[in-house]
Structures are given as structure tokens and as C-alpha cells.
Amino acid sequence: MKLLIQVIIIASFIHMASAQEVSDQTRKNANEISKTLDNFNRKPQWQQKYEIYMTGGNYLMNNNDYANAIKSFNKALAIVPNSQEALVAKNYCRQMLKEQSKGRRK
């Protein structure tokens, strides 16, 4: 999980280095990314995993991949069993899967 975030940051820096001029906004964005990574790394490992599963689940849900989003939310719920955010998102995905299957049967 740290590797993925580090790859994203490195890619951002490569993109910035390839540009001849680095704007103040780009520098500000790079500093914000660095602070976010530092804050993320300070969190307990269970919380890091929970956030990664929730972020992944939300990404999948937003891209209509409801079955895999449910799997990701289940993994988040295994870490934080009473997470209202994960439960609501999982139930939404279940409902969307039901609606998709109804549409295919018609």
C-alpha cells in the first residue's frame, strides 16, 4: 500500500521535472502530496488498510464495478466491523447489482 502511494508521488514528480517551468501551484500541490503521505504513514497500519479498501471500493463503485466494490467494502468491514460508511456503500452496491440484474432479465 505504501508502494502504490509512493509510485503515484514519483510519477507526479517525474511529470513536474519534465516541465521546463514549475509553477507555484505545482509546487504547492507537491507539498500537499508530501504532507498527505506523511500523515498517512503516521496512522496505524489497520487504519491505513481500512482507508485503502474504502478508497478502492469507492473508486470501483464510481466506475459501476459493484461486485468488486462489495468485496473491497467487505475487507474494510473486516477491519472496522461497524463502519457506517462501509455498510452504506456496500448496501448501495448490492442495490445497484439487483437493479442491473433486473434490467438484463427484461
Sign of CA dihedral 6, 12, 18, 21: negative
**Predicted local distance difference test score (pLDDT) of residue 8:** 63
The H-assigned helical ranges of 45-83 are 45-62, 66-79
Question: What pLDDT is stored for residue 61 in this prediction?
Answer: 95
Per-residue confidence of the chain (106 residues) as pLDDT tens digits?
Answer: 565 666 566 666 555 555 545 577 777 777 777 777 776 677 788 888 999 999 999 999 999 999 999 999 999 999 999 999 999 999 999 999 999 888 775 5
Task: Give the pLDDT score at 87.
Answer: 97
Which residues, other chains included, contact 26 with Cβ-Cβ below 8 Å and sequence gap of 6+? 16, 19
pTM: 0.63
